[in-house]
Amino acid sequence: MLPTAAVDAARRARVPALEHRPAGAGRPALEIHRSPRRTRRAEAHARDGVIVVRLPAGMPTADEERAIGQLVRRLTGAKRAADLGGDEGLERRAAILADRYLHGARPTSVRWSGRMGRRWGSCTPSDGTIRISRDVASMPGFVRDYVLLHELAHLRVADHSPAFHALLAAYPDRDRARGYLEGFAAGRLAAATPELPPQDVVDPAAPPQDDQDGEARRSGAARRG
């Protein structure tokens, strides 16, 4: 195996300063700039339907792909949440679901969040607040509804006891939504550890630890999921 520094130097020579990736698989087109002058972290913004990503040159491929994935998810999630009416749209949807399945439970606030890491949603029953990850905004409606309903149900039952699951039993797409979320989490884990050409295997980043079910584990007051 080559020493890391030599491999990195060879990689820098190969990796283009500007790379275009066409749209595909639900992802918008990318324009990736790599600059040796950039020392700050990776950044991205949307421009004319293309996501422009700026990276410091010389990042290991796995780190690049992880950073690109996060930035793209953040931007597409923010846009999708806005398309769905933002926090007000989420609040309206919560009211509809709560009236239909939970006898009108109401959170004190329900908001989209871009800072939930790998969690889909969180509920803090002590103050009645709910946060839904913007990652969920890009998912199908029956999955969005399930995540929102799950958090709303925690306003009634804080834990995942049988009483909690009984609240969700009436939601017809529960099992399908859970399957979707499990598949999504598995795909995200796989995407974070792309297969690299053999000469690039110098920075074997460990796959990130993922929650079993992607649910919330906040401070003591917050309940899981």
Q: What angle do CA 198, 64, 115 make, to 5 degrees?
A: 140
Residues 166-185 that bind Zn ion (CB under 5 A): none
Q: How many residues does the chain have?
A: 225
The answer to whether the CB of 27 falls within 8 A of the CB of 72 is: yes
State how far the Cα of 122 lies from the Cα of 116, in Å rounded to an integer: 9
Rounded to a whole number of angstroms, the minimum distance from the CB of residue 182 to Zn ion is 14
Which residue, 33 or 178, has its beta carbon nearer to Zn ion? 178
Which residue, 107 or 225, has its beta carbon nearer to Zn ion? 225
Q: Per-residue contact track with Zn ion, 114 to 153, x per CB under 5 A? A: ----------------------------------------
Rounded to a whole number of angstroms, the minimum distance from the CB of residue 82 to Zn ion is 26
Binding segment for Zn ion (CB under 5 A), chosen from 8-16, 32-40, 124-132, 215-223, is 215-223
Site size toward Zn ion, by CB under 5 A: 2
Cα 36 versus chain centre, distance: 29
State how far the Cα of 107 lies from the Cα of 130, in Å rounded to an integer: 7
Question: Using CB atoms, what's the residue nearest to Zn ion?
Answer: 225
Rounded to a whole number of angstroms, the minimum distance from the CB of residue 163 to Zn ion is 13
Q: What angle do CA 22, 27, 86 make, to 5 degrees?
A: 140
| Helix, strand or coil, per DSSP, at residue 92 | helix
Which residue, 145 or 215, has its beta carbon nearer to Zn ion? 215
Q: Which of 77, 107, 214, 225 binds Zn ion (CB under 5 A)?
A: 225
Which residue, 152 or 202, has its beta carbon nearer to Zn ion? 152
**Does the protein bind Zn ion through residue 214 (CB under 5 A)?**
no
State how far the Cα of 15 lies from the Cα of 37, in Å rounded to an integer: 15
| 169 φψ region: left (φ > 0), alpha (ψ -120 to 50), beta (else) | alpha
Look-up of token digits 């500007």: 18
Binding segment for Zn ion (CB under 5 A), chosen from 83-91, 100-108, 141-149, 212-220, is 212-220
Residue type, 87: D
Rounded to a whole number of angstroms, the minimum distance from the CB of residue 31 to Zn ion is 39
Binding site for Zn ion (CB under 5 A): 215, 225
